[in-house]
C-alpha cells in the first residue's frame, strides 16, 4: 500500500490525514505532542519531527512514497525544498511567499512530481482556469472570489481563522498582483473593497489579495485576471487600521526598554480571538468566473461553491475544502492520473485531460460540491 506522510498535524493537516487513511497507509509528522496525540487517538500513525529544520523534514519523509505538505506558509518553501532533496514526490497546501518555480529544476533533476498551492484558493480556481484554457480557443477574463467565515459573527472582528492565522495576516500585508488590460499591476492588500450579495448568505465584502500567484506566469496571454477575498462587511477597515498603525510590522521596536516585534504582540492578542474552538461552525464560499471564446462563440463559465461545517465528523469547512482538494490530488497522482515532472501549480493539473473532472468528483463524494457551468455570452 502507498505510504503517505503528512507534514503538519494542524486542523487542515489532520483532516487530510484522516481522509487519506481511507485509501493509504498514513503517518502524520509534527513537533506538537498535543496535535500528535489527537491524531493517535483517531487511530493514525504518528511521528514526532521538527519540521522547521530540513533534516527533520527529511527524517520524517524518509520512508514515504508520497509526501503531503501542510505546514504554515512561512515554513512552506524550505519544507518543500527538503522533501524534494529527499527524493520524494509532493502535494502541498502551504501558502508560501517564495516563487514556487525556483524549485522546478530541483524537482526535475530528481524526476519528481510536485504539486503546490493545492487547496481551495489557490488551488481549485487554478484548476478550473486550466481546464477551461485546455478546451477553449481563448480566455479573455478570469475572476475568483473566495472566503472562509464563522457562522456566528462575534464582535469585534467577526472572524475566526480556519487555517494558520499567521497566513491570514499575510493576506492583509502582502502586495497583490493583478492583470489588467494585459499589464501586471500591483495594489496594496485590502484595497478596492466591494459589497457583493450571495444567495443564502447575504452581503459580504471583497478585497484584493495575492491569490493569482502562479497564474500570472502560466497564462500571460489572458488580459484580465483578479482574485479577491471575502469577509463580513466592516472587517477590511479594522485590518487596514491595524496595518497602517504598524501592528503588522515584523521589525522590532523598543518598549519600556525591551525590544519587541509589533507583529508578535499583535498575534499574541489577536490569535486567541481568532481561534476556532472545537465545534465552532464555519462556511466557505467561492465564485469563479471565466470568460472567453470557443468555436467562434463568446462563452462564460461560472462555478459556485457554498460548503458548511460537517457536524457528523466535526470537520471545519475550510479544512474540508482545502484539505480534500489536496487529498483528491494525492489520489490522482497515486493512480497515475498526473505524472508531469517538476513543479506544478494547480493550473498545470487542470490542463491535464480529465484531471479537474477527477478532482471535482472526488470533492463531491465528500459533499464539497461546485454548481454551475458554461453559458453563452
> Tens digit of pLDDT for each residue in 258-284?
999 999 999 999 999 998 888 899 999
Among 84-88, 174-178, 267-271, the range with the most confident prediction by mean pLDDT is 84-88
Interatomic CA distance for residues 46 and 28, integer angstroms: 5
Give 171's pLDDT tier (boundaries 50, 70, 90): confident
CATH match of 124-316 with 3.30.70.3290: no
Place of cell 492588500: 189
∠ at Cα 16 (12, 22), nearest 5°? 155
- Structural domain boundaries of the chain? 3-119+318-370, 124-316
Q: In this predicted structure, what is the pLDDT of residue 261?
A: 95
Q: Please give the grid coordinates belonging to residue 334.
A: 497515486
CATH classification for the domain delimited by 3-119+318-370, as one of 3.50.50.60, 3.40.50.1370, 3.40.50.720, 3.90.950.20: 3.40.50.720
Q: Please give the grid coordinates belonging to residue 141.
A: 477574463
Residue 124 has pLDDT above 70, yes or no: yes
Residue 163 has pLDDT above 80, yes or no: no
Interatomic CA distance for residues 37 and 243, integer angstroms: 36
Residue 290 contacts residue 337 (beta carbons within 8 Å)? no
At 331, phi and psi to the nearest 5? Answer: -65, -40
Give the up-direction half-sphere exposure of residue 103: CA atoms within 13 A in the CB hemisphere: 28
Interatomic CA distance for residues 28 and 69, integer angstroms: 10
Residue 148 has pLDDT above 80, yes or no: yes
Give the up-direction half-sphere exposure of residue 170: CA atoms within 13 A in the CB hemisphere: 15
Alpha carbon separation from 182 to 4, 221, 258 (Å, rounded): 41, 7, 49
Give 323's pLDDT tier (boundaries 50, 70, 90): very high
Q: For the chain, how are helix, strand and coil distributed in percent, rounded to 5? A: 35, 30, 35
Q: In this predicted structure, what is the pLDDT of residue 6?
A: 98
Residue 361 has pLDDT above 70, yes or no: yes
- Averaged pLDDT of the chain: 95
Q: Please give the grid coordinates belonging to residue 265.
A: 504582540
Give 1's pLDDT tier (boundaries 50, 70, 90): confident
Pairing of β 370-376 and β 297-308: antiparallel
Q: Which tens digit of pLDDT belongs to each residue from 43-56?
A: 999 999 999 999 99
DSSP state of 363: H
Provide the CA 107 distance to its chain's centre, in angstroms: 21
Q: Which tens digit of pLDDT belongs to each residue from 201-239?
A: 999 999 999 889 899 999 999 999 999 999 999 999 999
Q: In this predicted structure, what is the pLDDT of residue 126?
A: 97
DSSP helix/strand/coil, 342: strand
Alpha carbon separation from 160 to 39, 309, 344 (Å, rounded): 23, 13, 31
Amino acid at each position: 500500500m502507498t505510504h503517505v506522510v503528512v507534514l503538519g498535524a494542524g486542523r487542515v493537516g489532520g483532516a487530510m490525514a484522516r481522509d487519506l487513511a481511507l485509501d493509504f497507509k498514513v503517518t502524520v509528522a509534527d513537533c506538537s505532542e498535543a496535535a500528535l496525540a489527537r491524531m493517535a487517538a483517531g487511530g493514525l500513525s504518528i511521528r514526532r519531527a521538527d519540521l522547521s529544520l530540513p533534516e527533520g523534514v527529511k527524517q520524517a519523509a524518509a520512508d514515504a512514497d508520497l509526501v503531503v505538505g501542510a505546514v504554515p506558509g512561512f515554513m512552506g518553501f524550505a519544507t518543500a525544498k527538503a522533501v524534494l532533496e529527499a527524493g520524494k514526490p509532493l502535494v502541498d497546501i502551504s501558502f508560501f511567499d517564495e516563487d514556487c518555480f525556483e524549485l522546478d529544476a530541483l524537482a526535475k533533476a530528481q524526476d519528481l512530481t510536485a504539486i503546490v498551492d493545492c487547496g481551495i484558493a489557490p488551488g481549485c480556481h487554478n484548476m478550473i482556469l486550466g481546464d477551461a484554457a485546455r478546451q477553449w480557443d481563448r480566455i479573455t477574463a478570469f475572476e475568483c472570489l473566495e472566503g472562509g467565515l464563522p457562522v456566528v459573527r462575534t464582535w469585534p472582528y467577526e472572524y475566526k481563522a480556519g487555517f494558520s492565522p499567521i497566513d491570514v495576516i499575510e493576506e492583509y500585508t502582502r502586495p497583490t498582483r493583478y492583470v489588467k488590460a494585459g499589464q501586471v499591476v500591483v495594489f496594496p492588500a485590502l484595497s478596492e473593497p466591494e459589497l457583493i450579495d450571495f444567495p443564502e448568505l447575504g452581503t459580504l465584502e471583497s478585497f484584493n489579495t495575492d491569490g493569482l500567484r502562479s497564474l500570472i506566469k502560466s497564462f500571460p496571454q489572458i488580459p484580465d485576471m483578479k482574485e479577491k477575498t471575502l469577509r463580513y462587511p466592516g472587517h477590511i477597515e479594522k485590518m487596514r487600521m491595524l496595518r497602517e498603525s504598524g501592528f503588522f510590522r515584523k521589525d522590532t521596536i523598543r518598549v519600556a526598554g525591551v525590544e519587541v516585534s509589533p507583529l508578535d504582540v499583535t498575534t499574541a492578542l489577536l490569535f486567541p480571538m481568532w481561534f476556532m474552538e472545537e465545534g465552532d461552525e464555519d462556511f466557505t464560499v467561492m465564485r469563479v468566473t471565466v470568460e472567453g471564446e470557443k468555436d467562434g462563440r463568446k462563452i462564460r463559465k461560472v462555478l459556485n461553491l457554498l460548503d458548511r461545517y460537517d457536524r457528523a465528523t466535526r470537520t471545519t469547512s475550510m479544512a474540508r475544502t482545502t484539505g480534500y482538494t489536496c487529498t483528491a490530488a494525492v489520489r490522482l497522482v497515486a493512480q497515475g492520473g498526473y505524472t508531469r515532472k517538476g513543479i506544478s501549480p494547480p493550473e498545470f493539473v487542470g490542463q491535464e485531460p480529465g484531471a479537474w473532472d477527477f478532482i471535482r468528483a472526488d470533492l463531491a463524494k465528500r459533499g464539497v460540491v461546485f454548481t454551475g457551468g458554461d453559458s453563452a455570452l
